[in-house]
Structure 1
Amino acid sequence: MGSVFLPHLNTAWHVDQAILSEDDRLVIIRFGREEESQCMIIDELLFSISEKIKNFGVIYLVNLDKVPDFNQMYELDEDPFCLMFFYRNKHMMCDFGTGNNNKLNFMIYDKQELIDIIETIYRGARKGKGLVISPKDYSRNIY
């Protein structure tokens, strides 16, 4: 279970501190509910890549029921899970071709594919971009 091994942020203050504390790495936050199957799958995937991305990204998990503070602002309740990306206290947006640039809210099953997305967002963030184009168009993946 990936959610057991990845750090959880249990208050809005902890979320803010995690985002503020990183100067050089991308902060990846998975918002969701651990008991939902898609969330379990993405947590496993995140755990499996966490060591590979540790030099440029750090992953945290947030349970939407325990920390509801961001649900309305980012429309988080609509999805079984979502990944959001932050760099130097700035919300990083990514164009996946899905029409939603605020978050990744669709399933990815391939480790390298997720690493590529995170690396692309990190590189764009380092260049000062606020919106990054995903390495792949996911518009056909959405049902």
Structure 2
Amino acid sequence: MTAVLPLPTPWNVDQAIVAGGDHHLVVIRFGRPSSTACAAQDRVLAAVAEQVASFADVYTVDITRVTEFNAEYQLVNDTSIMFFFAGRHIRCDCGTGEKRWISWVVESEEVLKEILETVWRGAGYGLEIVDGPEEY
């Protein structure tokens, strides 16, 4: 089973982003694990991690412990999923008006897999902003 790995330091976050290379999408959930929204999102991420392991690596960052990215990425939500490909931040437009991250709980495994695959394919074509599979 592929695990969702926690990134305990800023160095680990940077290394994960770089390690994805040109073929793997790096999915990082920044959030507060003590919140119910974050815990719910983590359950869905854990459920899909093995299914997307061929093209995505999934990580979590506790923004109450690793605070160095909070200002840079404006991390204020209980859960925010961000995407990186080839060391670049990839944005996803899911119709919510916010493209930098997904800040709501994606409750469906199928929907999350669809979003991850869409972002991965778009990033592979060199897109920095990917249109989500549908509006949410």
TM-score, length of structure 2 as denominator length = 0.95
Aligned to 1:132, the other structure's residue is in SS state strand
Query: Which residue pairs with 1:87 in the alignment?
Result: 85
Q: Which 4+ residue blocks in structure 1 deviate beyond 2 angstroms? A: none
Distance across 1 between alignment mates of 2:4 and 2:84: 17
Query: Which residue pairs with 1:122 in the alignment?
Result: 120
Query: Which residue pairs with 2:53 in the alignment?
Result: 54
Query: Which residue pairs with 1:9 in the alignment?
Result: 7
Aligned pair count reads 133
Distance across 1 between alignment mates of 2:31 and 2:20: 22
Gaps of 5+ in 2: none
Spell out, residue by residue over 1:35-54, the C-alpha distance to the aligned partner (whole angstroms, 9 max, x if none): 10010000000000000000
Distance across 2 between alignment mates of 1:95 and 1:54: 23
Gaps of 5+ in 1: 139-143
Aligned to 2:107, the other structure's residue is in SS state coil
Percent of paired sites with the same residue? 35
8 Å contact from structure 2 (residues 79, 105) kept in 1: no
8 Å contact from structure 2 (residues 38, 105) kept in 1: no
Question: Which residue type is aligned with residue 47 of structure 2?
Answer: S
Spell out, residue by residue over 1:32-76, the C-alpha distance to the aligned partner (whole angstroms, 9 max, x if none): 111100100000000000000000001000000111111111111
- Give the aligned CA root-mean-square deviation in angstroms: 0.8
Deviation of residue 6 (structure 1)?
2.1
Query: Which residue pairs with 1:98 in the alignment?
Result: 96
Question: Which residue type is aligned with residue 28 of structure 2?
Answer: I
Question: Which residue type is aligned with residue 121 of structure 1?
Answer: V
TM-score, length of structure 1 as denominator length = 0.91
